[in-house]
Structure 1
Amino acid sequence: MTSPRTALVTGANQGLGRAIVEGLAAALAPTDRVLLAGRRPDAVQDAATEIAAAVPRGAGVEPYVLDVRDPAAIEALAADLGEIDIVFSNATARMSPDDDPADRVDAVAETSNLATSRILRAFGPRLRPGGRLVVVASALGTLDKLDARVRPRFAAAAEADLDAVDDLVAQWRAAVHAGRAEEQGYGAWLNIPSKVAQVAAVRAYARERRADDLARGTLVAALCPGLIDTAASRPWFADMSTAQTPAQAAAWPVELAAGELTASALAAFHGELVQFGRVLPWRTGIPVPHRATT
């Protein structure tokens, strides 16, 4: 008899995170549980109640208040759960093209980058055999999206360890606050270095445990969900005609997390940025037709 499975989705009270929770609730067994985590107690509770009503015979959906910027809160949840089967690190800080980068860089770095490293450290060792730890990133998370001056630094951090990635994030963050990000090669957009650093963190962490993970059928990967029509993404893209709904975007990630993977797929996806069943090349990426900013 299969033991009940536990899944955690952060940033889950709206958008893609909420759609992933609903998809997991439908895909998993009634004896399984899905923790719907977010910062606002009312939003988390409302989302969990609505999903439970929409998927009445699915896995249990439990609201959980979690601020991923709080390292003690992440450690406490990981210790409380002990072992886990599925983790989606999905929380992100919203920003727009009109934001002053110096005003937003702390929220972005702490929510998307430091939290990613902490979740990898806290939950990676607690994955059961066959488990999945997926960091939701972006097609902007490949080296080609960076200025050539800083690409080698991000590549080197990805080949080192999580501490090296965190140190590079701190340097980028300091450059933004000092008003020197563009002259140092980080660029004016926060989301590009942030997303590249997220993928670098996954690569660094996954490389160290690859042999053991493949032997245990365990996956650690970054995810590009594709363009999704949300209030957060609309300011960044001139053409949303091909954008997915959150439910459409959640379908493949749910399949990846809840379904079976062949040994060859597991080996191909491990430590990589994946989208719709393919690996996005770390060095060359794919084109991203985003809105130009000044």
Structure 2
Amino acid sequence: MTTSSRVALVTGATQGLGLALAEGLAHRMSPEDTVYLTGRDLDRVTQAVEALPGGGAQVCGALLDVADPQAAGRLAAQLAERHGGVDVVFGNAVMRIGPDDDPRAIIDEYAEVNNFGTTRVLRAFAPLLRDNGRLIVVASTLGTLHYLAPVLHDRFADLSSLDEVDEQVAAWRDAIKDGSARAGAWPGFVNIPSKIAQVAAVRAMAGERREDDRERGILLAAVCPGMINTPTSGLWWDVNTAPSPAEAAVALLDLALEPVVPEHYGQLVRHGKVLPWTVRD
């Protein structure tokens, strides 16, 4: 075990933004540091690691399926034994959906990856953060209460624990499955409640850890990378002029590697600025 070098980890890192984050971390960190590039398919993880250019930090592939309730905890235990802690964690794993997908057919897997996967990563890796560490959840501008009907704001506005977040996600998931969401105020675009719940999870954990993290220089935050030119985004929007994953990753890497801005703690950040959680913020 060594604590003299930095350790970073990226979930959902075999393509797109996650791959760009892993490559960017490796480029900006030192040769004695280690970046774990993770994904749920070992062959794709191996191929992604082999395709990265050399130089900078060592990149290691690791299997991590955030939809597996035990996987994040297992990997966290391995890293704790191997390194004693972690310095940078990007929670980026995501199940993507297209305009033709039926929310009722995909919502179980979608919630397992995007939401329960997020809270699993937070629970597993936050305790491993060393002084001046960063734990950043990749979310979206959609992750604010502005995009949710006011009658639903109380579902996510002031949650105080990850267990409460999981309970609200489960209730939303079940409403999608039984059709009651369509008859109520829930938006038809499932990305909206999902992203709001991700930010709510960060806010809930931040409420529990704020004082200790402030003393130790730790940053816990959600981040919006903005529109990215990827095939999946292209199914929904015109992304021809949008930044590439590598370009979009720059602001996220700055958040992870540059000095902490105290106002960012527990917030949703886009290009260095905090996005208001409510209209009152």
Normalised TM-score (structure 1): 0.91
2:73 aligns to what?
75
Residues in 2 aligned to 1:115 and 1:169: alpha-carbon distance in whole angstroms: 12
Is 2:247 the partner of 1:248? Answer: yes
Counterpart of 1:149 in 2: which secondary structure?
helix
Q: CA deviation at 1:241?
A: 4.0
Report 1:23-102 matches (<5 A): 23-51=24-52, 54=53, 56-82=54-80, 83-102=85-104
What is the letter of the counterpart of residue 207 of structure 2? R
2:140 aligns to what?
138
Is 2:126 the partner of 1:124? Answer: yes
Counterpart of 1:131 in 2: which secondary structure?
strand
Aligned positions, number:
274
User: Superposition RMSD on alpha carbons, in Å?
Assistant: 1.3
Q: CA deviation at 1:251?
A: 0.7
What is the letter of the counterpart of residue 76 of structure 2? A
Report 1:227-242 matches (<5 A): 227-237=227-237, 239-242=238-241
Residues in 2 aligned to 1:122 and 1:41: alpha-carbon distance in whole angstroms: 21
Residues in 1 aligned to 2:149 and 2:183: alpha-carbon distance in whole angstroms: 10
Residues in 1 aligned to 2:200 and 2:116: alpha-carbon distance in whole angstroms: 12
Q: Determine what percentage of the aligned residue pairs are the same residue.
A: 50
Q: CA deviation at 1:156?
A: 3.0
Q: CA deviation at 1:41?
A: 1.3
Is 2:213 the partner of 1:218? Answer: no
Counterpart of 2:231 in 1: which secondary structure?
coil
User: Which of 268, 275, 279 is matched with 1:280 structurally?
Assistant: 275
- Say whether the 8 Å CA contact 1:88–1:134 is kept in structure 2: yes
Residues in 2 aligned to 1:177 and 1:81: alpha-carbon distance in whole angstroms: 37
Q: Which runs of 5+ in 1 are unaligned?
A: 286-294
Q: CA deviation at 1:120?
A: 0.8
What is the letter of the counterpart of residue 184 of structure 2? Q
Normalised TM-score (structure 2): 0.95
- Say whether the 8 Å CA contact 1:88–1:135 is kept in structure 2: yes
Q: Which runs of 5+ in 2 are unaligned?
A: none
Is 2:108 the partner of 1:106? Answer: yes
What is the letter of the counterpart of residue 91 of structure 1? A
What is the letter of the counterpart of residue 14 of structure 2? N
Moved >6 Å (runs of 4+): none
- Say whether the 8 Å CA contact 1:224–1:275 is kept in structure 2: yes
Residue-by-residue CA offset, 1:114-137 (whole Å, 9 max, x unaligned): 011111111111100000000000
Residues in 2 aligned to 1:45 and 1:259: alpha-carbon distance in whole angstroms: 29
